[in-house]
Amino acid sequence: MSPIPPHGRKARVLKGARSEYGGETMTGEIYVLLDHSKGRVDTLSRETLALAQQLGHLHGLGVKALLLCGPNRSPVDQVARMRVDAALVVPHQRLDGYDPDAHCRALTQVLAQDRPLAFLMGHSYQNIDLAPKLAASLKCGLVTDCIDCRIDGESMVFVRQMFRNRINADVRVRSPHPWIATFQSGAGAGNELLEGDADVVERNVDLSGLPHRRTVVETVGAVKEKVDLTKADMIVAAGRGIKRKENLRLLEELAEVLGAELGASRAAVDSEWLDRDRQIGSSGQSVAPRLYIACGISGAIQHVVGMRDSANIVAINTDPDAPIFNLANYGIVGDLVEIVPALTRKLRQEKAR
Ligand SMILES: Cc1cc2nc3c(=O)[nH]c(=O)nc-3n(C[C@H](O)[C@H](O)[C@H](O)COP(=O)(O)OP(=O)(O)OC[C@H]3O[C@@H](n4cnc5c(N)ncnc54)[C@H](O)[C@@H]3O)c2cc1C
């Protein structure tokens, strides 16, 4: 990624980007919602902001971060150190913790007033709940679960995967601004988020008369991993393609002869073939072994972000167009029920020599 010019550039006015609300010309600004917990901006929001920074740099668009928070304004200090044209902070008692009614009304007020070009959010469970409500409230188009975004002429093209990640669809929105989009984990590079010295601008919202329809009773954190795959030298990973639990035995035998650990895609974990602590990906562990053998794994972005740093990737898949082959150093197109035992046999023979 090329470095972004110093903070303070002027937002470009996009030709023809007109609002259907009053017809005023929209300035080309991208707003990004920063979700946070325990006083820290979430990784997914950092990734989404990094993507917006990249777009802003390439196309001369302004980028602003939007933080909804309680009266203590946490984590505003962290946001102020990000390279954005402004950090818009909306502090309110009703925004201390997630309340869909309050979050939606606050965002509606800010976005209806500013009408940025686009409003980007991480594709978190919270935002899956919030985004459609917000889009309906603003009467704006919404594209969910995006993996990328680019500017094409005067439109923004949102890229999302379809048909079990086999094809990428380009989606353009033909609604008033802001175009709302949620981005998958891994769409932006959180470690490339640029730091700066943002102007913090406080925004007031009117949340009076809003009913209390929902109370958060308890927040349950993710289960702590018992198996640490991050230190594994080799991993044999099972995907939905193993089809039934009995076939796991084939992978266990391969792992045994290699001295490898077993890993899994979320689909394999959801099928209850392997324990959740063996899941690799955005909501599992991130691994970087010397050898990663992906068996019956398609290569969805949420899996790939957890294993793409592996030194050598071998993919076994019946579908020659599976996205995992774009990443693999060695690809074997075929049925894992035949390939995996053949590999195990060959390795045993080599070891016996
Ligand atoms: C918020 C969120 C978080 C997520 N987090 C994660 C995560 O942490 N980790 C993760 O993995 N996913 C995660 N996912 C899910 C992810 O989007 C994919 O659905 C998942 O990775 C798919 O798993 P898979 O590749 O095993 O299954 P599929 O996509 O169904 O792929 C199965 C593959 O097996 C192949 N196949 C079928 N039969 C055979 C055979 N006999 N031999 C060889 N190949 C065969 C098929 O061609 C196909 O490519 C997440 C999704 C969301 C929305």
Q: What is the CATH number of the domain that holds 300?
A: 3.40.50.1220
- What the block records as the tokens of 254 is 């391969």
Same-domain pairing of 274 and 322: yes
What is the pTM for the complete model shown?
0.68
Q: Is 274 in the pocket of ligand 1 (CB under 6 A)?
A: no
Tens digit of each residue's pLDDT (9 = 90 or more) over 313-322? 999 999 999 9
Q: Hunting for tokens 């023979």 — which residue is that?
A: 349
Q: 266 CB under 6 A from ligand 1?
A: yes
Looking at the structure, tell me whether residues 190 and 319 fall in a common domain.
Answer: no
| Residues 190, 285 within the same domain | no
Distance from the alpha carbon of residue 114 to the mean position of ligand 1, in angstroms: 40
Whether 303 is in the pocket of ligand 1, judged by its Cβ within 6 Å, is yes
How many structural domains compose the chain? 2
Closest-CA residue, ligand 1 atom 39, reads: 241
Taking the CA of residue 336 as reference, the ligand 1 atom at the shortest distance is: 42
On whether residue 209 sits in a domain, the answer given is no
CB 127 less than 6 A from any atom of ligand 1: no
Which among 225, 240, 248, 295 is the best mutation to test ligand 1's pocket, defined by most ligand atoms within 8 Å of the CB? 240
> What is the predicted pLDDT for the residue at 32?
98
What was the pLDDT predicted at 76? 96
181 and 237 part of one domain: no
From the CB of 130, is ligand 1 less than 6 Å away? no
Residue nearest atom 50 in ligand 1 by C-alpha distance: 302
183 lies in the same domain as 245: no
**Residue 17 pLDDT class (50, 70, 90 cuts):** very low
How many whole angstroms from 303 Cα to the centroid of ligand 1? 7
Q: Note whether 239 and 171 are same-domain residues.
A: no
Residue 65 is predicted with a pLDDT of: 98
**How confident is the model over 97-155, as pLDDT tens digits?**
999 999 999 999 999 999 999 999 999 989 999 999 999 999 999 999 999 999 988 88
Residue 275 tokens, joined: 């324990």
Q: Please indicate, yes or no, whether residues 196 and 282 belong to a single structural domain of this protein.
A: no
In terms of domains, do 27 and 169 share one?
yes
Mean pLDDT of 8-34: 49
pLDDT of residue 219: 77
- 188 secondary structure, DSSP code: S
- Flag whether 224 is in a domain: no
Nearest Cα residue to 62 out of 108, 8, 140: 8
The CA-CA-CA angle for residues 173, 178, 179, to 5°, reads 30
Measured in Å, residue 265 CA sits from the centre of ligand 1 at: 6
Using the predicted structure, report yes or no on whether residue 16 has a pLDDT greater than 70: no
Residue 24 has pLDDT above 50, yes or no: no
**What does the pLDDT average to over 22-34?**
69
Residue 59 or residue 267, greater confidence: 267
Count other C-beta atoms under 10 Å from residue 206's C-beta: 10
Q: Is 335 in the pocket of ligand 1 (CB under 6 A)?
A: yes
Picking from 7, 84, 1, 88, the residue whose alpha carbon sits closest to that of residue 46 is 84
Instruction: Indicate whether residue 278 lines ligand 1 (CB < 6 A).
Output: no
Q: Is 61 among the domain residues?
A: yes
> 175, 139 in Cβ contact below 8 A?
yes
Q: Is residue 261 part of a domain?
A: yes
336 lines ligand 1 (CB under 6 A): yes
In the reported structure, the alpha carbon of residue 286 is separated from the centroid of ligand 1 by a whole-number distance in angstroms of 16
299: domain range?
Answer: 229-352
In a domain, 215, yes or no: no
Burial string for 135-172 (b: 16+ CB within 10 Å, else e) reads: beebebbbbbbbbbbebeeebbbbbbbeeebeeeeebe
* 330 vs 28 pLDDT, higher one: 330
Position 189 pLDDT exceeds 70: yes
Indicate if ligand 1 lies below 6 Å from the C-beta of 264.
no
SS3 78: helix
Q: pLDDT tens digit string along 282-299?
A: 889 989 999 999 999 999
Same domain, 188 and 256: no
Does 281 contact ligand 1 (Cβ within 6 A)?
A: yes
Q: Convert the pLDDT of each residue in 191-205 to its tens digit.
A: 889 999 999 999 999
Q: How far is the CA of 266 from the centre of ligand 1 (A)?
A: 6
Test site for ligand 1: of 283, 313, 340, most ligand atoms within 8 A of the Cβ: 283
Same domain as 297, residue 257: yes
Question: Is any ligand 1 atom within 6 A of the Cβ of residue 296?
Answer: yes
pLDDT of residue 18: 34
Same domain as 198, residue 80? yes
Q: How many angstroms separate the CA atoms of 23 and 175, rounded?
A: 13
pLDDT computed for residue 163 by the predictor: 81
Average pLDDT over residues 36-47: 93
Q: What is the CATH number of the domain that holds 96?
A: 3.40.50.620
Cα dihedral across residues 310, 53, 206, 115: positive or negative: negative
How confident is the model at residue 10, as a pLDDT? 28
pLDDT at 256 over 80: yes
Identify whether residues 116 and 166 lie together within a single domain. Answer: yes
**Any ligand 1 atom below 6 A from CB of 318:** yes
Q: Does the residue 279 lie in any domain?
A: yes
Tell me how far apart the alpha carbons of residues 24 and 21 are, in angstroms, rounded to a whole number.
8
Model confidence at 9: pLDDT above 60: no
